């Protein structure tokens, strides 16, 4: 019997429980939540809608959609990828195969940037921002959503990622202040920038095979693989960024759990000063490393 045949005729609530049990048996991290999100999306219902319709029997078509979502989740495809979008900094972002699923940890970069800007600049100043390896546009668009007079440019090596970022900029009403350019890191950019942000690939190549399946099998390796010691991208970007920053401007990197010291040293090596200690994410891991191009 196919999965959809086994769900058809069940009530919404019974299907939700059946899915959650299957996910649990397959060691999916949050089986109940995932079952609810996928069934809600398949039926076009939010949390309340699901509760209101819990006794309704599902049609064949609905059961078919839910079964195909479930099949994908059982292959450890993240819910955000199945749904094709993910919330980041309160913004709804579209995803594609070429973009990472934006992580809550990455909101630390946005928070660090806004703190520095709050200290150094007036909220309505015409900041120029660059996001190197922008992916879905997450960091850049979050910043532009908070800074009404800022403009920004995102780069990515992947044209498909940039297409996704452009759609996100349009859907969020930020396209008039965001532009995107395909290049290797910052190689095609002209400065000066007041702020350069980047969440580059930083996983050691040898660690990729042992990553969580949700990440290893579904996030683009181009956005993960940081070379033998995980630091290749930082070595490439830091000198480029140091040259592109305005005097007083700041570079902010997302870093892996044990990389803040090495990335701080790379920044100092490129002539940047360290105006603030690294900022920790909600798990207490140093996640944002900041360097300033001192005024001369």
* Interface ranges with ligand GLN (CB under 6 A): 100, 103, 199-203, 215, 224
Residue closer to ligand GLN (CB basis): 193 or 234: 234
CB of 133 to ligand GLN, least distance (A): 8
Helix (H) / strand (E) containing 34: helix 31-43
CB of 12 to ligand GLN, least distance (A): 33
CB of 23 to ligand GLN, least distance (A): 21
> CA–CA separation, 64 vs 222, rounded Å?
33
Residues 6 or more apart in contact with residue 137 via CB below 8 angstroms: 93, 131, 154, 164, 165, 166, 168, 169, 178, 180
Which residue's Cβ lies closest to ligand GLN? 202
> CA–CA separation, 178 vs 172, rounded Å?
11
Residue closer to ligand GLN (CB basis): 11 or 205: 205
Burial of residue 263 (number of CB atoms within 10 Å: 0-12, 13-18, 19+): buried
User: Largest Cα–Cα distance of the chain, in whole Å?
Assistant: 73
- Asked if the peptide bond before residue 131 counts as cis, ω within 30 degrees of 0, the response is no
CB of 252 to ligand GLN, least distance (A): 13
Pairing of strands 128-132, 193-198: parallel
CB of 96 to ligand GLN, least distance (A): 16
Residue closer to ligand GLN (CB basis): 62 or 214: 214
To 10 degrees, the CA torsion angle through 203, 190, 181, 234? 0
Residue closer to ligand GLN (CB basis): 64 or 133: 133
DSSP 3-state of 132: strand
Residue closer to ligand GLN (CB basis): 132 or 203: 203
Residue closer to ligand GLN (CB basis): 9 or 283: 283
CB of 257 to ligand GLN, least distance (A): 8
CB of 296 to ligand GLN, least distance (A): 32
Residue closer to ligand GLN (CB basis): 56 or 257: 257
Q: What is the DSSP letter of 180?
A: E
């Amino acid at each position: 019997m196919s999965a959809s045949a086994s769900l058809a005729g069940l009530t919404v609530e019974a299907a939700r429980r059946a899915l959650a049990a299957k996910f649990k048996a397959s060691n999916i991290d949050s089986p109940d939540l995932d079952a609810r999100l996928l069934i809600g999306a398949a039926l076009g219902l939010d949390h309340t809608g699901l509760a209101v319709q819990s006794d309704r029997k599902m049609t064949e078509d609905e059961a078919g959609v839910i079964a195909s979502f479930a099949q994908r989740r059982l292959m450890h495809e993240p819910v955000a990828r199945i749904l094709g979008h993910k919330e980041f900094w309160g913004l709804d972002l579209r995803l594609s195969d070429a973009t990472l699923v934006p992580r809550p940890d990455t909101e630390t970069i946005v928070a660090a940037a806004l703190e520095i800007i709050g200290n150094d600049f007036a909220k309505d100043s015409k900041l120029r921002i660059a996001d190197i390896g922008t992916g879905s546009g997450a960091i850049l668009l979050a910043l532009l959503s908070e800074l009404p007079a800022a403009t920004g440019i995102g780069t990515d090596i992947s044209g498909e990622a940039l297409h996704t970022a452009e759609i996100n900029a349009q859907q969020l009403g930020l396209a008039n202040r965001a532009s995107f350019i395909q290049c290797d890191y910052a190689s095609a950019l002209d400065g000066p920038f007041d702020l350069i942000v980047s969440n580059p690939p930083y996983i050691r190549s040898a660690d990729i095979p042992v990553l969580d399946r949700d990440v290893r099998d579904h996030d683009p390796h181009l956005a993960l693989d940081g070379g033998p010691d995980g630091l290749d991208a930082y070595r490439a970007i830091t000198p480029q960024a140091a040259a592109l920053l305005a005097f007083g401007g700041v570079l902010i990197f997302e870093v892996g759990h044990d990389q803040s010291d090495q990335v701080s040293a790379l920044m100092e090596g490129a002539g940047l000063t360290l105006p603030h200690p690294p900022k920790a994410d909600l798990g207490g891991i140093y996640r944002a490393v900041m360097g300033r191009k001192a005024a001369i």
